Structure 1
Amino acid sequence: MKRFNYKYIVWAVVVMFASSCDSYLDVNENPNNPQDAPLSGLMTNVTYQSALNTYRLGSFTSYYVQYLASANPGSSTDTMDPLDYSTTWFNLYNVMTDLYVMVGKAEESGASNYLGVAQIMMALNMSMTVDIFGDVPFSEGFEFQTLTPVYDDDMVLYQQALEYLDQGIQNLQGESIYTIAEDDFIFEGDLDKWAAFGNMLKARLMIHQKGQAEYSAQEVLSAVENGFTSNEDNAQVFFFEQDFNPWAQVAIDNDNLLLGGWISEQFVQALDGTSYAMEDPRLSLMIGTTDEGEFVGTANGVGRGNAPEQGARSTLIEDQFYTSKQSPVLIGTYAEQKFIEAEAAFEADKARAYQAYIDGITSHMEMLEVPSDEMEAYLADPSVSMGEAAFTMEDIFKEKWVALFLHPESWNDARRFDYAYKGMTIPANLNPDLNGQFIRRLRYPDSEVSRNGQNIPEVTLLDRIFWDVE
């Protein structure tokens, strides 16, 4: 872990400048909030809050991809009901509003480094917003000229996000009299790592578009070649004693009988040797056991069933890689990038795809610090290292699903893969409006319905984001 003493100081800056600029939905000025934030304060806020946005999305998408399951039967998230995600909407737009201001300030002051970072972070947050909602306000979203901004087409917004990434990467190469340092929670001002992250995000967004006319496998691979080179490049935000990792809080709350973080039966069975031939050594480093020392999941939509006592099911527990108080929230990883490479190379260069697949598993295991003998045994098993000839796209998606544990990108993959993971079944008590199908998007939040209802597209939970092709 790094720079904790400095973080105690810089956290005050986060509080001071958080929500420094109102989103288009928040029109009343707060005299207690500063109206003009400097670049350093904006940088601190947007890097920190972008990591929290990643967690916030993962906190519900993890039920859709069956990492987690509710302890209570018929839970609305488990059963994919049309929930109100107004808070998620506000959090995403508050960060994008600060980024909009940051871009303008950086352009005015000639701070090309801050400009490049802001453009990359804008692409991240706007793509996360599109991925869950589809069409959203953007072109009229930040000028405060209207309370009813138009909704922009999701495909157009994706192209804008890719343009932001290209511009951001280019601007990072420019001259600036300003220095980014520890006001950057992600890379501490390392512009080479920011450029690599920009390329990694390009690969992520482009692989989503596979099957679209705009898709080019070669462009994805070119972005990968300029992206991360190891786990040392991972885009992540470390937490600290006063404000620790939110997944650790979930584990602590569960231990205090505020139930959450229960593990889906599907996830346990995918790693314990039930659904696949090989028992995965990562399981014990990612989740806890029952009081009897066993891994037992909870069926989505069913709840605790005949095991009402806490300790009879596996949950997230404190002090593991994802749940230590000072663990990082992962935004983008080298392991994810390797699986993107494997998918992009699969048709034209299967040997490269297979090696990237093996490297993706290895890098995730190394990140979790799996003992070397257990790692070697797993990789040596023919069900994992099946050889180039037998290697399939299903193998890539399965291992990527494991490596993206608790990350919202996994829901994007699940929809692209049509939820075809081995053993993944429709949850019990499914929302009847889904007609026996998995959810494809979120409903628009109540806050938007009340303020901007005339512009909201008419959609159902089965309507697909543009890249979610049938």
Structure 2
Amino acid sequence: MIKSSKIYKSIIGVTMVLFASSCESYLDVNENPNNPQDAPLSGMMTHVTYQSALNTYRLGSFTSYYVQYLASPNPGSSTDTMEPVNYSSTWFNLYNVMTDLYVMMQKAEESGASNYMGAAQIMMALNMSMTVDIFGDIPFSEGFDFETLTPVYDDDMVLYDQALEYLDQGIQNLRGESIYTMEEDDFIFAGDLDKWEAFGNMLKARLMIHIKGQAGYSAEEVLSAVESGFASNRDNAQVIFFEQNINPWSAVARDNANLLLGGWISEQFIQALDGTSYPMEDPRLELLVGTTDDGEYIGTENGAGRGNAPEKGARSTLIQGQYYTSELSPVLIGTYAEQKFIEAEAAFDSDKARAYQAYLDGIEANMEMLEVPSGEMEAYLDDPSVSMGEAAFTMEDIFKEKWVAMFLHPETWNDARRFDYAYKDMTTPANLNTGLNGQFIRRLAYPDSEVSRNGQNVPSVTLLDRIFWDGE
């Protein structure tokens, strides 16, 4: 275990160096690439693993409103009502990490560090795909060579193919020889290359399930990736936070307690777990969100705000000390439970028995991660509304349970769009953006910073235009 003070000092130093480098020049051609002091791979690894987790949180901080995990206490809040929002900081954070990964891959190649190369390629696929999933076409082929200030936008489908190539290359490079070792540098897996390889396969399954229904989709390839992916919750890709820099969801819960009004829970999520929308009360509810002052679970209507409720105590919110909101909680990037639900979806048409078992395994994996008491877990899994049997089992059951298991994770917005937001009782928010014509949001607008700097290349889109994998 690395001492938290050591981690903190490492992050502060690396972040300052890399922030400066991301804004100026990255490479000095006069340096000797064979000198380990010339290739700051360890510091870059610390930075990109940490920031990749934060990017997962950053996206989840707004997509959680779109999928109705969270709701704003203020009526007509722009994110809650799916208005166009300027996500320039999100764009910058994603590109900052991808730029550092671009440099890290060059450094790793120069230094013969195949393990660092493999991990960097997997993280590039992660951050690239997250960017494509929310914006669609983005600059990439000309995005990192510093030869133009107005890079062209690459096609989102082409970029997905490239992300999958990065994953294949990364997995292969992890198996190569290297004079360097990744241990304390790596905040996700502490240098465990087997887990990095499993993560690469898990991400392959995630990206390939997105293109179900598109040309080139292969359920067999998804299932093959799953079989080489995570074996249990012990393989989860995550970054655990520490005393000097607490989990960001914990900070949201703390701020909410101080009346800064973040992390209020959607009534859709409450009612999906409290026995209102589905027959069985879900024991995970009390482990995910707080009660009102009266000990009840009461959500906030998306788009409508808190109404006549006081600012504190009359609605459920995120509270500190739970699985996702403890100061030292991990930020989850990819989990065994998610992989199980991917397996269930991919196997559904060809092997329904396998799909049904993977669905049940996904629920169990998530409950075990949250440490649901065994008796409560067994009661939930034994209920006929959950264990309905293979014949009655539907795709809707997979998406519902995956939605619960992926609480606060941005991947759920990808699922919601693929599923056409067809979760039971989910409706568009009150005061919905009139430009959406009564429909759910399908993508983000390009950020103002990009429009002002690269406007001639920025595609003209609306919030109803779909990412290539989001079929009609």
TM-score by length of 1: 0.96
Matching residue of 1:160? 162
Distance 2:97 2:210 in 1: 23
Matching residue of 1:360? 362
Find the partner of 1:413 among 409, 415, 432: 415
Match for 2:148: what amino acid?
T
- 1:189-217 CA-partner distances (Å, limit 9, x unpaired): 00000000000000000000000111000
Distance 1:321 1:362 in 2: 16
Query: Any idea what SS the aligned residue of 2:238 has?
Result: strand
**Contact conserved, 1:397 with 1:413, CA < 8 A, in 2?**
yes
Match for 2:430: what amino acid?
A
- 1:44-95 CA-partner distances (Å, limit 9, x unpaired): 0000000000000000000000000001001000000000000000000000
Matching residue of 1:449? 451
Q: Mark the runs of 5 or more structure 2 residues left unpaired by the alignment.
A: 27-37
Distance 2:141 2:12 in 1: 32
Matching residue of 2:86? 84
Q: Using the TM superposition, give the Cα deviation of residue 231 of structure 1 relative to its aligned residue in structure 2, in angstroms.
A: 0.3
**Contact conserved, 1:17 with 1:45, CA < 8 A, in 2?**
no
Q: Say yes or no: does 1:333 pair with 2:335.
A: yes
1:60-99 superposed matches below 5 A: 60-99=62-101
Aligned residues: 462
Query: Any idea what SS the aligned residue of 1:18 has?
Result: helix
Query: Any idea what SS the aligned residue of 1:21 has?
Result: helix
Match for 1:342: what amino acid?
A
Q: Using the TM superposition, give the Cα deviation of residue 9 of structure 1 relative to its aligned residue in structure 2, in angstroms.
A: 4.0
Matching residue of 1:14? 14
Q: Which moved more, 1:304-313 or 1:115-124?
A: 304-313
Find the partner of 1:110 among 109, 112, 126: 112
1:27-38 superposed matches below 5 A: 38=40
Q: Using the TM superposition, give the Cα deviation of residue 243 of structure 1 relative to its aligned residue in structure 2, in angstroms.
A: 0.2
Query: Any idea what SS the aligned residue of 2:21 has?
Result: coil
Q: Say yes or no: does 1:128 pair with 2:122.
A: no
**Contact conserved, 1:251 with 1:315, CA < 8 A, in 2?**
yes
Matching residue of 1:374? 376
Distance 1:208 1:310 in 2: 39
Match for 1:192: what amino acid?
D
**Contact conserved, 2:289 with 2:316, CA < 8 A, in 1?**
yes
Match for 1:332: what amino acid?
G
Distance 1:342 1:431 in 2: 35
Matching residue of 2:34? none
Distance 2:71 2:39 in 1: 41
Distance 2:184 2:158 in 1: 34
Distance 2:420 2:92 in 1: 29
**Contact conserved, 1:253 with 1:259, CA < 8 A, in 2?**
yes
Q: Using the TM superposition, give the Cα deviation of residue 259 of structure 1 relative to its aligned residue in structure 2, in angstroms.
A: 0.6
Q: Mark the runs of 5 or more structure 1 residues left unpaired by the alignment.
A: 30-35
Matching residue of 1:149? 151
Find the partner of 1:184 among 177, 186, 190: 186
TM-score by length of 2: 0.96
**Contact conserved, 2:11 with 2:47, CA < 8 A, in 1?**
no
1:172-251 superposed matches below 5 A: 172-251=174-253
Distance 1:389 1:345 in 2: 14
**Contact conserved, 1:17 with 1:41, CA < 8 A, in 2?**
no
Q: Using the TM superposition, give the Cα deviation of residue 28 of structure 1 relative to its aligned residue in structure 2, in angstroms.
A: 8.9
**Contact conserved, 2:291 with 2:317, CA < 8 A, in 1?**
yes
- 1:282-312 CA-partner distances (Å, limit 9, x unpaired): 0000000000000000000000012134100
Distance 1:389 1:409 in 2: 28
For the structure 1 residues 448 and 12, does the alpha-carbon distance in structure 2 shift closer, same or farther, using more than 3 Å as the test? closer
Distance 2:189 2:137 in 1: 31
Find the partner of 1:260 among 259, 262, 267: 262
